[in-house]
Structure 1
Amino acid sequence: MLQLPKPHHHPPKTLVSAAESYEYCRQITAHYSKTFYMGTLLMPPEKRQAIWAIYEWCRRTDELVDGPKAYTTTPETLDAWENHLEAVFAGHPQEDADVALVDTLERFPIPIDPFRDMIAGQRMDLYRSRYDTFEELKLYCYRVAGTVGLMTSPVLGFSEPPSASPWQLANHSETLEAAVDLGIANQLTNILRDVGEDTGRGRIYLPLADLHRFDYTEKDLFNSVVDERWRSLMKFEIRRAREFYRRAEDGIRDLNPDARWPVWSALMLYQGILNVIEQNDYDVFNKRAFVPKGRKLLYLPVAWLRAQVL
């Protein structure tokens, strides 16, 4: 009788502990988003760890289309990543970094939909390199950044009640809208800061209708032209971003008290990038806009005061 070889079963991969996974997520957050990381340090330990776990997942997702191996990413890659996500939400970590996120999902009532929406935003980057109108861009900004507000709000918590189940989140719809607005404001800030880098990759995130409005062309953009047309365009875009920050401020008072100072700090620190763009005379092609560490520290007491009285 023919003897078939016994199938070879690979032992399941041994993953790191939750503590080790959280530490890895902390290091990733600290390295890639110093401003955001500073805000998380103002949170209670359990909340800051959860935010690090969420940030690390978002980072891995973004790397699929913007990282060094982005040229290998296909729609099927993102399909597989969504399957990976569903396994994590089912409590089955696939990689070391997933361990922290699985633990976070057990501690906080975080819905899966914003994570799926973020993957949908990465799909947009696969086939789009231009946006005709701001409404089109706004959808993209929601998917890749506004979703972060929906992911993190259940961790930050609400003033009444201190925590909420997924079906109770609708009771905080205005707060969640403000959280989305903060994510959109941050993404618009990223777009304005990174215009030069994005054109280097053949991408234009500024709405083409806005370029047309100020008689500024794609050719001008790829040639890094800084003139009065460009300055007028940038002033217009910065005003729009600041309006989203203003809307976001309205929702902070409804967050759990221990989350208000960190969120005010993160908002002010990131909005500070717009101030630096202005100080650099809107030259985002040759000057990287960032808030110096000393100035970041000056924001913290102001943010604390706003968290107490606003």
Structure 2
Amino acid sequence: MKYTLEQAYAYCHKAAKKADSNFYLGFMFLPKPKRDAFFACYAFFRYVDDIADEHSEGARSQVSPSGAHPAGMLPPKARLPDTVGFADLLPRQQIACISPSAKSHSPRSVHEYKGEADYVAKLIQRWETDLDRAYEGEADHPIMIALAHAVKSYNIPKAPFKGLILGCKMDQTIRRYEAFDDLLKYCELVASTISAVSISIIGCKDKKAFEYGRYLGLAFQLTNIIRDIAVDAKKGRIYLPLDELKRFEYGESDLLNGVVDKRYVNLMRFQVKRAREYYLKAKHLMEYVDTDCKLATSLAGAVYLKLLDTIEKKQFDVYKNKFKLSEYDKSVLVLKNMLKSEYSV
């Protein structure tokens, strides 16, 4: 099936809505052309991230490069599900749907790939290849058709997309980070790269805007790491730096087994404090954002800060609570931000 540009953007919109991301609320207050571009980029980011995240449980657990040895529990080998991320949005669950380049890859059932050690690597590599094709104006998959148009319309550099792909590849082998500097390198790839793409769309051209956008992207990623501690623990992953766990005398086994005590609370207070510091570092971003994008950008920051506030109020217990903003919370945030005389993140 050959998608028109309109159909391709509609597909990306549907994919973003299905993901139910914290970003979706802000997207809806962008002018349509910019909203479409965001949906295209976000669909690509989520698709690649889902491939890496949903199918990495069987990977070998390792410490980040600065670590001296493998650490933590080895997660059990995962059974690869029949679909990958957004693939269930397509008419047929086939590899042709997962790999954008339908012309260069014959359709194969996902079942045929089960058990292959390089399953995820092949999928990610195919998307990386088709990213290159999209930048040359060639695309078959709806996400890539929309993306090719978006990157050309807003002069979006390819490097951030490549950075995200590299970060997702890291997720396949690295399960621990010895120090925050190590974690920061990973966050730069998977979070700051997304903010770099966003900056191009919302009209920021000053170099300072990219730095503030970087801080905001890191703040979002650190918030996600805090929120997803329990989810990641089930996959054998620990993103919190190991030296910080040691500082608070909280063991890896404690985190993996969901031990919530004074040590845990103190550790989490430290994590939340650092995340808030990055939000503060990003506060001047709004000075560089196009007027028609200020509300959307402000909402994105407000949603994540509200999430952080909620986690803190519940004593950081991410094991017993699933932290997600209600429709009421979102409505209140929209109203508050619309009534602001000056936007902020």
| TM-score interval, smaller chain | 0.7 to 0.9
Aligned to 1:133: 179
Aligned to 1:61: 48
* 1:238–1:288 distance in 2 versus 1, CA, 3 Å: same
Using structure 1 for the length normalisation, give the TM-score: 0.87
CA-to-partner distance for each residue in 1:26-46, whole Å, 9 max, x for gaps? 111112134211101111111
Using structure 2 for the length normalisation, give the TM-score: 0.79
Matched, 1:261 2:248: no
* 1:85–1:249 distance in 2 versus 1, CA, 3 Å: same
Distance 1:261 1:17 in 2: 30
Distance 1:185 1:228 in 2: 25
Unpaired segments ≥5 residues, structure 1 = 1-13, 159-168
Query: Of the candidates 195, 209, 214, which is equivalent to residue 180 of structure 1?
Result: 214
The one-letter code sitting in structure 1 at the alignment partner of 2:327 is: K
Aligned to 1:124: 170
Aligned to 1:105: 151
Question: Runs in 1 of length 4+ with deviation above 6 angstroms?
Answer: none
Report the CA distance between 1:79 and its aligned residue. 3.4
CA-to-partner distance for each residue in 1:2-34, whole Å, 9 max, x for gaps? xxxxxxxxxxxx421111111111111112134
Aligned to 2:20: 33
Report the CA distance between 1:76 and its aligned residue. 4.8
Structure 1 vs Structure 2 CA RMSD? 1.7
Matched, 1:216 2:250: yes
CA-to-partner distance for each residue in 1:256-309, whole Å, 9 max, x for gaps? 111111101111111211111112221101211122211121112333355636
| Paired residues of 2:286 and 2:343 also in contact (CA < 8 A) | no
Matched, 1:90 2:136: yes
Aligned to 2:263: 229
Of residues 229-238 and 289-298 in structure 1, the stretch that sits farther from structure 2 once superposed is: 289-298
Unpaired segments ≥5 residues, structure 2 = 56-79, 85-116
Distance 2:27 2:47 in 1: 19
| Paired residues of 2:160 and 2:193 also in contact (CA < 8 A) | yes
| Paired residues of 1:29 and 1:56 also in contact (CA < 8 A) | yes
* 1:243–1:230 distance in 2 versus 1, CA, 3 Å: same
Query: Of the candidates 44, 48, 65, which is equivalent to residue 35 of structure 2?
Result: 48
Aligned to 1:161: none
| Paired residues of 1:15 and 1:99 also in contact (CA < 8 A) | no
The one-letter code sitting in structure 2 at the alignment partner of 1:179 is: G
Matched, 1:270 2:257: no
Report the CA distance between 1:106 and its aligned residue. 2.5
Aligned length: 285
Of residues 239-248 and 297-306 in structure 1, the stretch that sits farther from structure 2 once superposed is: 297-306
CA-to-partner distance for each residue in 1:132-178, whole Å, 9 max, x for gaps? 111111111111111111111111103xxxxxxxxxx4xx1111111
Distance 1:181 1:305 in 2: 25
Higher radius of gyration, 1 or 2: 1
Distance 1:73 1:197 in 2: 22
Aligned to 1:154: 200
The one-letter code sitting in structure 2 at the alignment partner of 1:192 is: I
The one-letter code sitting in structure 2 at the alignment partner of 1:64 is: I
| Paired residues of 2:154 and 2:200 also in contact (CA < 8 A) | yes
| Paired residues of 2:137 and 2:148 also in contact (CA < 8 A) | yes
The secondary structure found in structure 1 opposite 2:30 is coil
Distance 2:36 2:159 in 1: 21
CA-to-partner distance for each residue in 1:46-91, whole Å, 9 max, x for gaps? 1101100000000111022113548754545433332211001111
Distance 1:55 1:245 in 2: 21
Aligned to 1:199: 233
Distance 1:82 1:96 in 2: 15
| Paired residues of 2:337 and 2:343 also in contact (CA < 8 A) | no
